[in-house]
């Protein structure tokens, strides 16, 4: 039985898949299995997966007839996993040689291990390094808040789990955005022993325009609200719950404002959803945007969006 089960959703990843899988072949810890969930790709991704599966029995291919999204793929990977620990890697990313060895040390004392990572471009140049930090004497909830503030919480790949901690938890198949943060919130609602790997062992590649993050979601506010409610549940017994959730709500409102300005969404429909959301109701932000949303001044919101985009276009022209 392998110690680690690694789940990799694969969809039209022919340009990056070799790099991802090769990084697992060079691991200093070899007791692992890799579940490649091929999600109905239209490129050569399936052939690449078959290539690795034919050469190394640790690599297992699961082929889907059509793209069911990352949640479906990850859930299949969890269901097929036999390892004591489960980790997730995106097919356009790759890991350091000591990735598994470092995680294993974390699992000596923990049920969930958060890891450091490099944000890199397609050429491997480091843009930013994120190292998780926590204070051992902090309360459980304070540790989670600190990890969230360091951008070391929501992504599925930024942590690994004991399989008994995952248990019956699965990724929501109704969400195709922030489903990973919802998954983590639900697992951590029950207090878990946490460890951190204080060095970058994962390489998160930015600039993938085909990713779900790059697509426009007309129901963005509703999806954000689902995650906000999961945080409300997670922080139910936290002493500073009110202040923390209010701060998070402010952040979500800001994110929705810029999403409205920068994406091709129907302003009336989008802002109507925002006005109905739980986080908007508790946010303390008062500005022209929030006032216009509350008062349903959609023409004013359209004008504000137009001015925002004109200003950004002028700024880009001036930089040239």
Q: How confident is the model at residue 214 (pLDDT cuts 50, 70, 90)?
A: low
Whole-prediction pTM value? Answer: 0.90
Mean pLDDT for the chain? 93
Tens of pLDDT, residues 130-176: 999 877 788 999 999 999 988 888 899 999 999 999 999 999 988 88
Residue 29 above 70 pLDDT? yes
Domains of the chain in start order, with CATH, are 4-213 (3.90.550.10), 216-319 (no CATH)
Q: What percent of the chain clears pLDDT 70, i.e. is strictly above it?
A: 98
Phi, psi angles (nearest 5°) of residue 245: -70, -35
Check residue 208 and give its pLDDT.
Answer: 56
């Amino acid at each position: 039985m392998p110690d680690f089960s690694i789940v990799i959703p694969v969809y039209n990843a022919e340009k990056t898949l070799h790099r991802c899988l090769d990084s697992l072949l060079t691991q200093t810890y070899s007791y692992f299995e890799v579940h490649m969930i091929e999600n109905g790709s239209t490129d050569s991704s399936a052939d690449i997966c078959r290539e690795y599966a034919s050469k190394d029995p640790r690599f297992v291919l699961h082929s889907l007839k059509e793209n069911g999204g990352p949640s479906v793929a990850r859930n299949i990977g969890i269901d097929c996993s036999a390892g004591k620990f489960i980790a997730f890697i995106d097919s356009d990313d790759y890991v350091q040689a000591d990735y598994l060895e470092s995680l294993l040390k974390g699992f000596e004392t923990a049920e969930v291990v958060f890891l450091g990572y490099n944000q890199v471009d397609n050429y491997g140049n480091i843009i930013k390094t994120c190292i998780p930090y926590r204070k051992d004497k902090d309360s459980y909830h304070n540790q989670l808040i600190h990890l969230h503030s360091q951008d070391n919480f929501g992504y599925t790949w930024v942590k690994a789990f004991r399989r008994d901690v995952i248990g019956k938890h699965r990724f929501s198949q109704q969400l195709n955005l922030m489903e990973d943060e919802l998954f983590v919130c639900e697992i951590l609602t029950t207090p878990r022993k946490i460890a951190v790997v204080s060095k970058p062992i994962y390489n998160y590649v930015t600039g993938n325009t085909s990713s779900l993050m790059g697509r426009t979601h007309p129901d963005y506010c509703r999806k954000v609200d689902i995650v906000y409610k999961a945080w409300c549940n997670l922080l139910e017994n936290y002493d500073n719950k009110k202040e923390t959730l209010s701060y998070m709500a402010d952040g979500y409102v800001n994110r929705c404002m810029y999403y409205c300005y920068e994406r091709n969404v129907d302003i009336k429909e989008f802002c109507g959803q925002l006005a109905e959301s739980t986080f908007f109701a508790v946010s303390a932000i008062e500005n022209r945007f929030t006032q216009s949303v509350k008062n349903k001044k959609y023409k004013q919101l359209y004008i504000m969006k137009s001015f925002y985009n004109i200003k950004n276009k002028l700024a880009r022209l001036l930089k040239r």
